[in-house]
Every structure is written in C-alpha cells, then in structure tokens.
A and B are shown apart, each in its own frame.
Chain A
Amino acid sequence: MKGGEELLTVTKLLRAFGGVLAVSSVDFQVKRGELLGIIGPNGSGKTTLVNLITGFVKPNAGEVRFKGKDITGLPPYRIVGMGIARTFQMVKPFYQLPAFKNLIVPLCSPRIKGLLGGSYGDRDAVALDLLEEVGFERDANVAYKPAGALPQGYLKRLELAKAMALRPELLILDELFSGLSLAEVASIVPIIEKLRFQGKTIIMIEHRLKELFRIADRVMVLNFGMKIAEGKSDEVMADEAVKKAYLGSEAG
C-alpha cells in the first residue's frame, strides 16, 4: 500500500458533557503508517476523543472518516470491524480468566472470522503466541495465571495484546505507559516499534512525553478540548501556548 494516504480524518468533532466541552471542534488527520502522539493536561479531552473515534461516545457534531468512509456514530463493534482497535486507559481484563483466555474474546470477533475465513485453527495457540509477542515469557507460565493475579505491567501488555489480536489497521493506545516503571516502558517501546515496522498506523495518547517524542512522527496537543498545537515533537514543545498549558499542570 502506498504511504501518505489519509487513513483517518476527523473534522470539527464536538462533544459536550453538561456544560463542559470535552472535545471542542477538533480537526486532524492520520496518514497510513504514521505514529501520531496526542498529549495534553489532565481532563483535556484525550480519552473522550478516543471514545468518539471508536464509537463508545456519540459526538454532538462533526465527522470521523476512516479509509474514506463516514464512521461517525457507528457502534463500537462496527468500527472495530472496519479495522480500528483501542486500548483502555484503565485496563479492562476479565480478572477470573487466565491471561491467554482473555484473548479468546477478540479472536472470536466477526472481524477475525472475516479476515481468516471460517477456520482459525487453535485459538489458544494463537493467544499464547500473541502474549509472547507482547513480552509474556513463555517458560514462566505467566500466560496461564488468572489476569487478576498479574501486576500492572502485564495487565497493560495484555491490554495491548487484546487490541493486536484484532489485527487492526489503526491502533489507538490510551496512556499505555501510565503507571509503569521506566524499565517496563523501555521493554514495551520495542513492541510498538515492531508494530510500526509492520506498517500499522498508531495513535498514542501519553503523559510520558520523553518516551513519546522519541517514537512519534507527529504530535498534537489538546487543552480544554481544543487543539492548540500540532507538528514535529520539538516544534510543539517550543510552542508558547503549549508551554503555558503545561505550566503548573505537568512537569513534562
């Protein structure tokens, strides 16, 4: 597929909760194969933006286009079916189930059935392979432990594996690094770089600016629901409005 083609186009997207404009007329585009970082202080509307794109929240106005098709307001399962997968900021595993069984649910989705035809082979084996890909050591048997017994670092990886299991074209990661140690972040970064190498398009929402800037092609900054800056990492950090937004709220 040729690079540079627009994969996701968001125009004048708006959503209010009561009197709060959580997302206020945001426009942006993501090209195929690109990694877009989205940053912004707490409560600036990043998660809401993800929810709007993935159909978990309906917009009051505006439009989302994916691969040229209007997907505004479609239910989440339809949007996943078209090839957008997301992770949740607050991990949402099935706590009683063994970690690898958590992946059975996405592997049963109509998207995967459609992509691979009726027979998938052994779902458990596919699930175990996926977990190994995100850093579950095979010999340590972590994949067989109930998700409820896993530390945060593994739960975040599991969350990533659940999204990867859907074989998305666009992957949206909502604060995948939050709550992780530097070493854990350092071990996940190569996984993301590998996904990029495979040609996946990724949107990353992050508070960990240093790690994000190293891998992002482009960064967009939100504040009070509005886009205040967009561009290369260093350009964005030099921006006066961005400095002001982050002053006193985040050290960066």
Chain B
Amino acid sequence: MKKRKERIDRGIKVRSEDVFALTSYRELLYLTAPRLLPVFGLLILVPLSPPYWQEIFISTAVYALLAISWDILVSVGLISLGQSLFYGVGSYVAGALNHYCGLPPVLTIPIATVTGAAICTIALLPVLRLRGIYFSMVTLVLPLMILRLVEATRILGGTEGLTGLSPFPNQITAMYLANCCLLVALFGFRRLMDSDYGLIIRGISDNDRSVMSAGINIHWYKTQILFLGGTVGCFAGAFGTHHDMFAGMPGFALDYSIMPIAAAVVGGTGTFAGSLLGAFILVPLSEILRALGALRIVFYGLFLVVFVVGLPEGLFHYIRRKYHQFERWVEVE
C-alpha cells in the first residue's frame, strides 16, 4: 500500500470572487485574515517594539516602499536597477525645500513626492521606449551621474549634503507615517492591478504589440506607472531625509537600489505583499547579522542564495498557495 499526498483547494477564494454569500465566521476570517495581518503588524505590533527595533523597522519601511515601487515598475515590464534615483531625488527635493525655503515636513514631503516623481519620470521619458536591458542600464547609471554632478558642482551642499533638517516630532509619528503610507501603497497597488487598468498593465509586460494593436498608447500607460512608482520611491526619500535630518549623496547610493530588488525577489514579485514581506525579512536580518562583524555579508549572501534557490517563486507566492490549499495523505494501490 502506497501513500500519496493529495492537495485540495479550499475553494472559498474562488466562490468569494463571485457573489456567493459567506456562510460562516470561519470563512469570513479566512478571507480577511491575510488583509488584517499586515495592518495589525504595521500599526500595532511594530510600534510596540523596543525603541532600538523601532528604528530598524523605520528603515525597513523605507526599503519596503522602494521595493513596492520597484514591483509596480516590473508589472509594466520596466526593470529598474536604480531605485536610489527615486530615493535621492525625493530626499534632495524635500531637503532643499526645508533647508533653503524653511518649509516644514508637512509640506516638503507631499511636494517632494509629487515633483520628485515628475522629475524622475521626465528624466526617464526618453528611455521609456527602449525595451528590456536598455531601460535598466539607464536607471543604473543615472543616480551615479547625479552623484558625480553634485560632487563636482558643489550644488545642494556638495559632498557635505544638507544637514540639520527638521525632524519629525517623535519616533512614533514617523513610524505611523511610514507604515500608513506603506499600507496605502500596498492595498492601493493591489487593487489597481486587479482592475481593468491593471489588466492593460500586465498585458503590456506580457505582449506589448498585442496591446498596441488594441488601440492603446502603451507609452502613455508606461509613463503613468513610472510616475506612480516614482511617487512611492520619492516619498520614501523625502520621509527618510527628514527622519535622518540629512539629505546627501548617500541617498543615491547603490544600497537603495539593491536592497529593494532583493526584497521583492525573496518575497515574490507581482504582488506587492511579497515586497513588503521580503523587506521585513531582509532588513532586520541584516541588523541581526551585524554581530558577526566582517562575516556579515557572507552569511547574508548565503541566505539570499539559499532562499532564491529554495523558493524561486518567492515566499509570498508559496505561502499564498499553501493557504488556499490543504494537503492530506491518501492511499493508492
């Protein structure tokens, strides 16, 4: 007698997408728990953590925002290797408005979010038509070019950067601001991609010629997504800069480009929740590994490799699959 694992779909998800009424609290819980979990975690658990960890979770939120921004660009087929462009631009716009014009964070952050995204979109507009690797190359090079420009021309504080910027009133305010925006981006983008608009976006990354032949201006849609992703990235920069009370060249550093990609890949692309999950694993992990000193990067790299090889689909896709199925052993002859 042999045994075989059998997988069964719980089926509630399928039914819930139609108009079927839910029959019990258990089913209701089954459907809402995955949505309540990040809300509960970000708005209650994280703010309850000790101050040292709060600090780490704030920077985690920044990376998570950049990862979600990366993920929305990927959904339209744009692979950005330079998320630091968004961080840096958002950071310098907010920093400059605060430093030179004396505007408070309540104003600098929204302004930097929108104008920063507009600046980045315009800067990348000429290469938006290029497919695949060419767009990626330009996003990689652009932040490095800006970096050297700031260094050479000594504008915006040069290598010193802009220091002494207005901080947030306290850490809890900062934390709630970042986490609320993270949730808005997460649920907003998920909703967007489930709509007919999202269908077009996925269509463009799938088969752009087919979308073109459907009478749709794909460049205009790509521009919109670039701007949307830009707002999330620039918000991260503007937020981070006020939190650090400093806008400077590190804003354009590679860290802000690599970590978001790693987070999105470990967590699973195309869902935004995966990016969030990935950031909340990788950033705290890198903190914990700090104790290892010089060996930190080795272990960190090892972890990444094991993860990507073991779960190439990404953690979130794996969890989601398991959640919607349950397995049992059945006997076969």
A101 proximity list for chain B (CB < 8 A): 199
In the complex, how many angstroms separate the beta carbon of A205 from the nearest chain B beta carbon? 15
Would you call A109 and B215 a contact (CB within 8 A)?
Answer: yes
| B308 interfacial by beta-carbon distance below 8 Å | no
| A24 interfacial by beta-carbon distance below 8 Å | no
A162 proximity list for chain B (CB < 8 A): 210, 213-214
CA distance A92 to B203 in the complex (A): 11
B207 proximity list for chain A (CB < 8 A): 92-94
**Sampled A-B contacts (13; CB under 8 Å):** A56-B209, A75-B217, A81-B215, A85-B215, A86-B213, A88-B209, A88-B210, A88-B213, A108-B196, A108-B216, A109-B214, A109-B216, A110-B217
A-B contact count (CB 8 A): 74
CB-nearest residue of chain B relative to A91? B210
Would you call A105 and B200 a contact (CB within 8 A)?
Answer: yes
B199 proximity list for chain A (CB < 8 A): 97, 101, 104-105, 108
Would you call B210 and A77 a contact (CB within 8 A)?
Answer: no
**Residues 85-142 of A at the B interface (beta carbon under 8 Å):** 85-86, 88, 92-97, 101, 104-106, 108-112, 123
| A160 interfacial by beta-carbon distance below 8 Å | no
Q: Interface size (B, Cβ < 8 Å)? A: 18
Per-residue B-contact encoding for A163-195, CB less than 8 Å = 1, 0 else: 101100000000000000000000000000000
CA distance A74 to B197 in the complex (A): 24
| A54 interfacial by beta-carbon distance below 8 Å | yes
CA distance A115 to B213 in the complex (A): 17
Q: Interface size (A, Cβ < 8 Å)? A: 30
CA distance A92 to B208 in the complex (A): 10
Would you call B211 and A105 a contact (CB within 8 A)?
Answer: yes
Per-residue A-contact encoding for B205-236, CB less than 8 Å = 1, 0 else: 01101111111111000000000000000000
Per-residue B-contact encoding for A63-86, CB less than 8 Å = 1, 0 else: 000000000000111001100011
CA distance A118 to B209 in the complex (A): 25
Would you call B196 and A104 a contact (CB within 8 A)?
Answer: yes
B209 proximity list for chain A (CB < 8 A): 56, 88, 92
Consensus secondary structure, chain B interface: helix
Can you add 6 more A-B contacts, CB < 8 Å, to A80-B215, A92-B210, A104-B200? A77-B216, A81-B215, A94-B210, A104-B199, A105-B203, A166-B215
| B202 interfacial by beta-carbon distance below 8 Å | yes
CA distance A3 to B257 in the complex (A): 61
Would you call B196 and A77 a contact (CB within 8 A)?
Answer: no
B211 proximity list for chain A (CB < 8 A): 105
CA distance A81 to B214 in the complex (A): 9
- Considering the complex of A and B, which 6 residue pairs feature the smallest CB-CB distances, nearest first? A80-B215, A109-B215, A106-B214, A92-B210, A76-B212, A77-B217
Would you call B196 and A80 a contact (CB within 8 A)?
Answer: no
A96 proximity list for chain B (CB < 8 A): 206
CA distance A163 to B216 in the complex (A): 13
CA distance A162 to B213 in the complex (A): 9
CA distance A76 to B210 in the complex (A): 11
B200 proximity list for chain A (CB < 8 A): 104-105, 108
Would you call A110 and B215 a contact (CB within 8 A)?
Answer: yes
Q: With A94-B207, A97-B199 given, is the CB distance from A85 to B216 under 8 Å?
A: no
CA distance A110 to B202 in the complex (A): 18
Q: With A97-B199, A108-B200 given, is the CB distance from A54 to B206 under 8 Å?
A: no
In the complex, how many angstroms separate the beta carbon of A66 from the nearest chain B beta carbon? 14
CA distance A104 to B29 in the complex (A): 32
B197 proximity list for chain A (CB < 8 A): 108
B218 proximity list for chain A (CB < 8 A): 77
Would you call B212 and A77 a contact (CB within 8 A)?
Answer: yes
B217 proximity list for chain A (CB < 8 A): 75, 77, 110
CA distance A234 to B199 in the complex (A): 46
Among B203, B212, B213, B217, find the residue whose CB has the most chain A CB atoms closer than 10 A: B213
**Residues 176-215 of B at the A interface (beta carbon under 8 Å):** 196-197, 199-200, 202-203, 206-207, 209-215
